[in-house]
Amino acid sequence: MEKKVIYVVSDSVGETAEFVTKAALSQFINENEYDIYRIPYVENTEVLRGAVYHAKQLGAMIGFTLVNRDLRAFLTREAVEKNVECVDILGPMIEAMERKFSLQPKQEPGLIHKLDEDYFKRVEAIEFAVRYDDGRDPRGVAQADIVLIGVSRTSKTPLSQYLAHKQLKVANVPIVPEVEPPKTLFEIPSHKCIGLRISSEKLNDIRKERLKSLGLDDKAFYANLDRIEAELSFFDQIIQRLNCPVIDVSNKAVEETANSIMNMINQPYWDFHEHQAKE
């Protein structure tokens, strides 16, 4: 029997959404007959759009707890547009209390959780991922625990954010034929770099969908197959120079790629913990 898949989305930890989801699932199937993928600490619509995209690809449904009404509305619209089953777990209760008490909700996620040491480490890692996203500041490459490299639309940003919630400081660098990667990239230990490879056909589909979502012509140069092949060829050249690990993300959800990376850094050769201790 094929496992049922549910995405749990939250702008906080996501424990409430996961608990309710499991309680509902217990009325239908056993625990080993489903997979729950939790996407916590959502702060922007890009992550929500990605969640809906992956849910659509896997035939999954989404349960969410978002206190921000704009994010709730966006996710609901996106899910309806993509025909993905999506359930607002917290919103109806908040709206009912707003009517009953004639008060405005604070719209601040995570108020129920204490600010502990792990929380602050996660916040620091998340801020790091934002600061050094998309190669905007090459100084982050030397300071990062992990550096993700790949062409545009290989999920570098959502993956950086996901790993940040695991307290990992992640920088990501876009690979573009016209731009030489930062020199620092070739000076750090090769296994700290992780290449994100994707098939040209898959990337072509993703970029076309991206252009359509922006109201642009899907035949633009950005989604041209020859251009994509050139970018991937340049990516392979950089990987050869770096001699770093590579993960094929063509048919992987962000969570799957993140798990692969976590498995990598738990290998004996990885001196990640030593690196942390020196900081």
Domain check: are 81 and 144 in the same one?
no
42 has binding-site annotation: no
Q: Could you tell me if residue 229 is inside a domain?
A: yes
184 has binding-site annotation: no
Q: Could you tell me if residue 260 is inside a domain?
A: yes
Domain check: are 59 and 137 in the same one?
no
Residue, of 15 and 6, whose pLDDT is higher: 6
Domain check: are 95 and 154 in the same one?
no
**pLDDT surpasses 90 at 76:** yes
Domain check: are 95 and 229 in the same one?
no
What is the C-alpha separation between 33 and 25, in angstroms, rounded?
Answer: 10
26 has binding-site annotation: no
Give the rounded percent of residues in the chain with a pLDDT score beyond 90: 66
Count of domains for the chain: 2
**Residues 6+ away with beta carbon under 8 Å from 2:** none
Q: Could you tell me if residue 110 is inside a domain?
A: no
Domain check: are 67 and 164 in the same one?
no
Q: Which of 64-68, 74-78, 155-159 has the lowest mean pLDDT?
A: 64-68
| pLDDT value of position 115 | 52
DSSP code of residue 133: G
Domain check: are 255 and 134 in the same one?
yes
Mean pLDDT of the chain: 88
Q: Could you tell me if residue 184 is inside a domain?
A: yes
CATH number of the domain that 238 lies in?
A: 3.40.50
Mean pLDDT calculated for residue range 139-148: 95
Show the tokens assigned to 83: 């025909």
Domain check: are 170 and 47 in the same one?
no
| pLDDT value of position 1 | 63
Domain check: are 257 and 229 in the same one?
yes
Note down the domain range covering 168: 117-278
| pLDDT value of position 276 | 36
Q: Could you tell me if residue 240 is inside a domain?
A: yes
For 178-234, write each residue's pLDDT tens digit: 999 999 999 999 999 999 999 999 999 999 998 988 888 878 889 999 999 999 999
Domain check: are 258 and 138 in the same one?
yes
**pLDDT surpasses 60 at 267:** yes
Show the tokens assigned to 118: 């792990």
Q: Could you tell me if residue 57 is inside a domain?
A: yes
Closest CA to 153 of 140, 166, 172: 172
Domain boundary among 47, 67, 101: 101
For 23-70, write each residue's pLDDT tens digit: 999 999 888 899 999 999 998 999 999 999 999 999 999 999 998 889
Q: Which of 9-13, 214-218, 268-272 has the lowest mean pLDDT?
A: 268-272
CATH number of the domain that 85 lies in?
A: 3.40.50.2300
Q: Cβ(198)–Cβ(250) under 8 Å? A: yes
156 has binding-site annotation: yes
Q: Could you tell me if residue 224 is inside a domain?
A: yes
**pLDDT surpasses 70 at 268:** no
**pLDDT surpasses 70 at 154:** yes
Domain boundary among 69, 101, 133: 101
Give the global pTM: 0.57
Q: Could you tell me if residue 97 is inside a domain?
A: yes
